[in-house]
Amino acid sequence: QQKVQQSPESLIVPEGGMASLNCTSSDRNVDYFWWYRQHSGKSPKMLMSIFSNGEKEEGRFTVHLNKASLHTSLHIRDSQPSDSALYLCAATASGGNYKPTFGKGTSLVVHP
Amino acid sequence: NSKVIQTPRYLVKGQGQKAKMRCIPEKGHPVVFWYQQNKNNEFKFLINFQNQEVLQQIDMTEKRFSAECPSNSPCSLEIQSSEAGDSALYLCASSRGTNQDTQYFGPGTRLLVL
């Protein structure tokens, strides 16, 4: 059973719009969350990480974490066509041999 | 930018053949991971190492897959007898070795088993 669920599977937003992506872990031992971005034909690159309850903002990207519900969300404002990519959520549990569990990803398309 | 090096970038094998790929982790990163990403973009963890020691691996890895990270040599992942279902992107990642550390991915080896 997939322990990290991402939604939606795919998302289309207009250029300049807001994209909101969700991720929930079913593993109560999870402490750390990451968002990776993978452009087509490329390898994943870490976008943002969040380990504490609350919100973290970096430029156009904001990530939220609710540790009680093990839910994190990524919001991209003023979306650009270059943001079109697969967004992967990963979660790691303390003492888990450093092994993150990845979700299946959300495929984002930003159309001009 | 990631400094994880993976070779070769592309690998084509016939069914039953061995397929071997290599990874040089980023300098100072003792933890190395191997993942398989299939055509549906699903990630499957295969194995990870801390220095030369295996931390964790899945059952699939134990049967046809073998991996090692010898000191002073590239890490490697080898499929003993390739199957069509092994066609995928094999990603190597490294990290500094705590649960809070980011993984840095190499460009991947794309394996096609004919």
pLDDT digits (tens, 9 = 90+) for A41-90: 899 999 999 999 999 999 999 999 999 999 999 999 999 999 999 999 99
Residue with tokens 């609350």: A54
Name the closest residue on chain A to residue B42, using Cα atoms: A104
Q: Are A83 and A75 in contact (CB under 8 A)?
A: no
| Radius of gyration, CA atoms only, chain A | 13
Query: pLDDT tens, position by position, for chain B (114 residues)?
Result: 679 999 999 999 999 999 999 999 999 999 999 999 999 888 889 999 998 899 888 876 668 999 999 988 999 999 999 999 999 999 999 999 777 788 999 999 999 999
Residue A1 burial class via C-beta count within 10 angstroms: exposed 0-12, middle 13-18, buried 19 and up: exposed
Q: Tell which of A50, A98, A104 to mutate to test the B interface (max B CBs under 10 Å).
A: A98
Give residue ranges of B with CB < 8 Å to any A CB.
Answer: 2, 31, 33, 35, 40-43, 45, 48, 50, 55-56, 91, 95, 97-108
Q: Are B33 and B44 in contact (CB under 8 A)?
A: no
pLDDT digits (tens, 9 = 90+) for A9-23: 999 999 999 999 999
Using DSSP's 3-state secondary structure scheme, residue A83 falls into: helix
| Radius of gyration, CA atoms only, chain B | 13
Does the distance separating the beta carbons of B99 and A46 come in below 8 Å? no
